[in-house]
Amino acid sequence: MTNSVSRTKTRLTVLVKFVFLFMAGLIFISTALAQETENNEVELQDKAIKVYLDVSPYSEDHIKREIAFVNYVRDRKQAQVYIMLTTQRTGSGGTENTIFFIGQKNLTGKNDTLKYVSQQSDTEEIMRDGIVKVLKAGLIQYVAKTPLFKDISISYKKKSEIEKVKDKWNYWVFNIGSNGFFNGQESSKSFSINSSLSADRITPDWKISLRLSTDYNENRYSFGDYSAKIVRRSHDFNSLIVKSLGSHWSAGFFGSVESSIYSNTKIGFNAAPALEYDLFPYSESTRREFRFLYRLGYANIHYEEETIFDKLNDHLFMESLSATFVVKEKWGSVTTSLRGSHYFHDFSKNHLGLNSNLNLRLFQGFSINLFGSVSLVNDQLGLRKSDYSTEDILLNRKELSTSYTYFAMIGLNYQFGSIFSNVVNPRFGSSGRGRTMIISN
């Protein structure tokens, strides 16, 4: 019995020693691997070019995973290469992605511009992979001057000669869509449906856009003995035809037919020839625009109810002039538009509107976003003559008289810490960067 116990203790001692040595070995190996990973990361930070990405957040993580031979930094001033991506809609409903590579610091003056065009039917994965492919091609000229280039391989997949395909649709693109929304609780319910049909044809010389849409919105409210139902219907057809007159000029025509309960319009017809001048060539529209648009229009409107001017229909002539300025640079972007209009029968019936959106990076890690719009309103010719009920006012069922409108928004963001942002960690989703919601009664 004593020998058996002694043998058991001996085996336990051997087992404990084995486990201890095994764990010590694991710790040593993991430490060595961690040190190697850390050394590799330090090597990357020391030798790889520093890149700042100015792209949409949804594709940033994907780019970092697929392009691991550069250093991603959080502040543009720390970067050797600033990458900015801008987008424009194509005539077929796809997206033209323009990618600007701007050299900074020791790479100043080494700039490039590449484009990738995605189709409307492309999935998000196809679009992201296409952008990554173009990014890799654009970065090669910078990476070629670093020690990491020895680990880069370039391949070419030869394809058969591409045959020129005749477009049987002659650049026409059609779209049919419908959306429905439902929500509710014990005291309120809402339902809305909107449908649309569009046809577009866009070429370098012509731009034709035709759109037909209809909207129905219904809201029901119930509080004790009180109940209310608000219905809004609107139907409209809009057309735009534009002819290119060179790199700075365009001529076009706006036309529309509309019906809206909210704005007291049984049916309204609008037609307006227009002329536009862009101070910059249209080919630079992905970076900057300064457009002046003049319209001379006619409107024939039949009202649902008699207006405050004792009218059931109107024949109106008007003109408008707008100026739109857009610039996208490393320091941010600015979009500002000023528009003024008036009716010829009474110049006091006019409208002046200004809206602006500024996204500025003022200094390292600090950015500010500003949006604001303001309008001086003196052209509400369709206001109802009848009295407005309390429900009309509180529930915004009908257009109300006003001499001005405004909206403003401001956002501030300051980020500090490590300048490197190479690591992508998808665990727990984005909960670590989520918002905190506080609910109180």
Q: How far apart are CA 106 and CA 111, in angstroms?
A: 12
- Amino acid present at 425: N
Residue 73 contacts by C-beta under 8 Å, 6 or more apart in sequence?
50, 51, 52, 79, 419, 420, 421
What's the CATH code, domain 50-149?
A: 3.30.160
Domain limits, the chain: 50-149, 245-422
Question: What is the rounded distance in angstroms from the CA atom of residue 245 to the CA atom of residue 281?
Answer: 12
**Which H/E stretch holds residue 143?**
helix 124-143
Q: What is d(CA 48, CA 375) in angstroms, rounded to the nearest whole number? A: 51
Q: Tell me the DSSP string of 31-70.
A: HHHHHHHHHHHHHHHHHSPEEEEES-HHHHHHHHHH--SS
The first and second tokens of residue 291, run together, are 């457009």
CB 350 within 8 A of CB 316: no
CA 416/CA 359 separation, integer angstroms = 19
Q: What is the pLDDT along the chain (441 residues), one digit of tens a residue?
A: 555 556 656 666 766 666 667 666 666 665 555 555 545 555 555 678 888 888 876 577 778 878 888 888 877 888 889 888 888 877 667 788 888 898 888 888 889 888 888 877 677 777 878 888 888 888 888 888 888 887 777 777 766 555 555 778 888 888 899 999 899 898 889 999 999 999 998 888 999 999 999 999 888 888 878 888 888 889 999 999 999 999 999 999 999 999 998 899 999 999 999 999 999 998 888 788 999 999 999 999 999 999 999 999 999 999 999 999 998 877 788 999 999 999 999 999 999 999 999 988 777 778 888 999 999 999 999 999 888 877 777 767 788 889 999 999 999 888 777 666 656 556 665 555 544 444 444
Query: Alpha-carbon distance 257 to 273, whole Å?
Result: 15
Eight-state DSSP code of residue 385:
S
- In angstroms and rounded to an integer, the radius of gyration of the C-alpha atoms of the chain is 31
pLDDT at 273 (0 to 100): 96
CATH no., domain 245-422: 2.40.160
Of the CA atoms within 13 Å of residue 317, those in its CB half-sphere come to 3
The pLDDT score that the predictor gives to residue 125 is: 73
> Distance from CA of residue 327 to its chain's centroid?
16
| CA proximity to 346, closest of 378, 382, 303, 299 | 378
For the entire predicted model, the pTM comes to: 0.68
Find residue 217's DSSP bridge partners: 192, 232
| Integer Cα distance of 98 and 171 in angstroms | 22
CB-CB contact of 123 with 138 (8 Å)? no
φ, ψ for residue 358 (rounded to 5)?
-120, 125
Virtual torsion, Cα 402, 375, 367, 331, nearest 10 deg: 170
Amino acid at the residue 296: L
Residues 6+ apart with CB under 8 A from 12: none
What confidence score (pLDDT) does residue 152 get?
78
d(CA 377, CA 401): 9
pLDDT value of position 276: 96
Cα within 13 Å of Cα(214), Cβ side: 5
Question: Do 211 and 238 form a contact (C-beta atoms < 8 A)?
Answer: yes
Strands (E), 224-343: 226-244, 249-260, 265-278, 288-303, 313-329, 332-343
Distance (Å) of CA 187 to CA 119, 222, 292, 395: 45, 5, 49, 15
Report pLDDT for 208: 92
Please give the Cα distance from 257 to 237 (Å, whole number).
Answer: 5
Helix (H, G, I), strand (E, B) or coil at 252: strand
